[in-house]
């Protein structure tokens, strides 16, 4: 069977299937007052359980994972949900059925937005709905808080509250019929290094509790009904995988140096202050991308200057003298902030997002810049503007930063005078004009996720055109080369913080094209260091020259794979 791999790793274990029992709503119900009390009691009980799960998740998986359940807590207290349910109950509807009807309407609205991010938020609402109904009807939930042996958990949709209640030490992997790469369960799986595959068609009609199953969380392959020889081969691969990871971890404390002595900067991408610890643990030499929008996404109200200042200061203090590149607010596209009340757009990725939104919401941008400047005293801060498409936008952002500096100086509030300013190169127009933009910047960071999307006119969240989305496309590679050359002509650093930066196949090509800094998920850092240590920069340059002459993405990827094999770089299986 096949699905979409969303968290790397091989595993082989016994399956536990979480079956969804059909809910039967009672015909006989109490008075509206009695039913409302049932609902409010259930709401209070589910909220208490969610808070308890959040605290437990915070201890086992960190604050980033626990933030998922904070969102659930906010929804359980949201008058926009609670009041319509009470109104439905007042119409002589039973409490459980009222929850079902009202929340289904909201869920359908999210699902109708035709956007993967909002579709995953619909799954969060389903999780809350099911918890409320179970509590009202006194339906017991499967207890997976204590598992007797390593287990693969399989379900139609494994919800965040279910995942948070698992005995995580005994969970070998997660398999789901639904879900996507941005679902909270996928995020949690990656955070905990638990292999996971989602979008597995007919999973629950094929796999039963007690079956022995193996799968690959990178390729999405699922292995059923294996014979003894196949099982033994998979177990050997799993042992080899663990040994490889141990070797990578040994490299985490060393610098990234090629076989012929060329050193590169390897940084980590983070979403919350707590993630900085993971970057340091895996040997990251800085933060190449701090996604500051997570401060906005996890709250019903806009974070004020003090809250942002504390978050930035925490990361800067943790990283010491190591660089911390904070990307200013990148909201819009597939990320919505309820407090901003953004209107729905037909083409959100081409609309009001990131720096464009900051030009419209100047006060929001102003607050963030002040917080960043105040925090700059505590480390090596660099500020990066996203979604720049014109020189006018960049100059406007720099002027706003200068205004904030003048304000703080007048208020006698200290900040670091010299802070490097950079931009994301993620729109083709900027890559084409890279030499011009590099005169106004201290560094570039190439965002390959959006650069690929905008170059190929492919929505990276749309599974219907997923086969067309690839950063191996020759046009994308040529734009990356233009950005690097444009930066170097004015002697500024060019880095990369998109998915390609952590792809071992891309590393030789990026080295050959002269990329200076690589930023990626913390878990990928040791592996990238390992492959870099096997490479020769001159051979990488020769490879880049050959690839820049190709016309097909399949040819590019094929040549990258062949490069490892021809140079005998321990990668024939890769």
Residues annotated catalytic, as ranges: 184, 497
CB atoms within 10 A of CB 548: 15
| 525, 253 contact by CB (below 8 A) | no
Calpha distance 408→489 (Å, rounded): 34
Q: Where are the beta strands (DSSP E) in 191-293?
A: 196-198, 212-216, 222-223, 256-257, 263-270, 287-291
Other CB atoms within 10 A of residue 271 CB: 19
Q: State which H helix or E strand residue 305 sits in.
A: helix 305-319
Q: Which two tokens stand for residue 217?
A: 């969380």
Nearest by Cα to 88 from 35, 140, 132, 51? 35
Biggest CA pair distance of the chain: 80
In this structure, how many other beta carbons lie within 10 angstroms of the beta carbon of residue 322?
18
- Whole-number Å distance between alpha carbons of 189 and 198: 11
What are the Cα distances from residue 460, in Å, to 62, 149, 336? 28, 38, 17
Q: How far apart (Å, rounded) are the C-alpha atoms in residues 244 and 234?
A: 15
Using DSSP's 3-state secondary structure scheme, residue 38 falls into helix
DSSP-assigned beta bridge partners for residue 383: 326, 421
Question: Of 297, 305, 272, whose CA–CA distance to 287 is shortest?
Answer: 272
Helices 116-137, 63-76: crossing angle, 10 deg rounding = 60
Whole-angstrom distance, CA of residue 381 vs CA of residue 312 = 9
Rounded to whole angstroms, the Cα distance separating 340 from 27 reads 42
Measured CA to CA, the distance from residue 306 to residue 326 in angstroms comes to 16
In DSSP terms, 493 is beta-bridged to 443
Distance CA 461, CA 446 (A): 19
Rounded distance, CA 148 to CA 146, Å?
Answer: 7
Q: DSSP class of residue 174? A: E
Helix (H, G, I), strand (E, B) or coil at 51: helix
Q: How far is CA 527 from CA 235, 238, 348, 533, in A?
A: 21, 16, 35, 10
Kindly state the DSSP code that residue 338 receives in the 8-state scheme: G
DSSP 343: P
């Amino acid at each position: 069977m096949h699905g979409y791999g969303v968290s790397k790793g091989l595993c082989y274990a016994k399956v536990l299937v979480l079956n969804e029992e059909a809910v039967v709503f009672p015909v006989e119900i109490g008075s509206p007052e009695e039913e409302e009390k049932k609902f409010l009691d259930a709401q209070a009980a589910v909220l208490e359980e969610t808070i308890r799960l959040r605290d437990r998740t915070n201890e086992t998986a960190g604050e980033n994972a626990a933030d998922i359940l904070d969102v659930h807590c906010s929804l359980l207290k949201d008058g926009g949900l609670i009041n319509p349910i009470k109104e439905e109950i007042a119409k002589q509807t039973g409490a459980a059925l009222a929850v079902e009807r009202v929340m289904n309407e909201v869920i359908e609205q999210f699902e109708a937005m035709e956007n993967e991010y909002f579709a995953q938020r619909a799954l969060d609402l389903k999780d809350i709905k099911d918890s409320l109904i179970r509590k009202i009807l006194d339906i017991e939930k499967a207890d997976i808080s204590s598992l007797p042996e390593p287990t693969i958990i399989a379900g139609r949709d494994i919800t965040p509250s279910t995942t948070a209640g698992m005995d995580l030490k005994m969970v070998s992997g997660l398999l789901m019929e639904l879900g996507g790469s941005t679902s909270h369960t996928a995020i949690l799986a990656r955070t905990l290094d638990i292999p996971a595959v989602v979008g597995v068609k007919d999973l629950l009609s094929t796999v039963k509790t007690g079956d022995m199953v193996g799968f690959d969380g990178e390729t999405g392959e699922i292995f059923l009904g294996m014979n003894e020889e196949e099982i033994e081969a998979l177990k050997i691969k799993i042992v080899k995988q663990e040994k490889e990871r141990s070797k990578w971890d040994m490299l985490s404390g060393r610098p990234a140096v090629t076989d012929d002595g060329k050193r590169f900067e390897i940084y980590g991408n983070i979403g919350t202050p707590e993630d900085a610890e993971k970057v340091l643990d895996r040997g990251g030499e800085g933060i190449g991308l701090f996604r500051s929008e997570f401060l906005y996404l996890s709250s019903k109200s806009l974070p004020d200057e003090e809250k942002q200042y504390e978050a930035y200061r925490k990361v800067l203090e943790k990283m010491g003298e190591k660089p911390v590149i904070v990307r200013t607010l990148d909201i819009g596209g597939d990320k919505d902030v309820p407090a901003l009340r953004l209107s729905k757009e037909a083409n959100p990725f081409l609309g009001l997002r990131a720096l464009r939104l900051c030009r419209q919401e100047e006060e929001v941008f102003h607050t963030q810049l002040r917080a960043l400047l105040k925090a700059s005293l505590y480390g090596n801060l660099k500020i990066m503007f996203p979604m720049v498409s014109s020189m006018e936008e960049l100059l406007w952002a720099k002027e706003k930063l200068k205004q904030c500096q003048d304000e703080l100086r007048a208020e006698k509030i200290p900040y670091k005078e010299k802070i490097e300013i950079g931009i994301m190169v993620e729109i083709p127009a900027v890559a084409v004009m890279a030499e011009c933009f590099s005169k106004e910047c201290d560094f570039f960071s190439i965002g390959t996720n959006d650069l690929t999307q905008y170059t190929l006119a492919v929505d990276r969240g749309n599974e219907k055109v997923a086969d067309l989305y690839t950063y191996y496309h020759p046009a994308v590679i040529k734009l990356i080369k233009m950005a690097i050359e444009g930066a170097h002509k004015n002697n500024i650093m060019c880095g990369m913080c998109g998915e390609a930066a952590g792809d071992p196949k891309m590393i030789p090509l990026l080295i050959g094209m002269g990329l200076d800094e690589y930023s990626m998920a913390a878990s990928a850092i040791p592996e990238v260091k390992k492959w870099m240590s096997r490479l020769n920069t001159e051979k990488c340059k020769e490879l880049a020259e050959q690839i820049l002459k190709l016309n097909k993405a399949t040819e590019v990827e094929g040549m990258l794979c062949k490069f490892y094999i021809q140079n005998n770089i321990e990668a024939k299986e890769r």
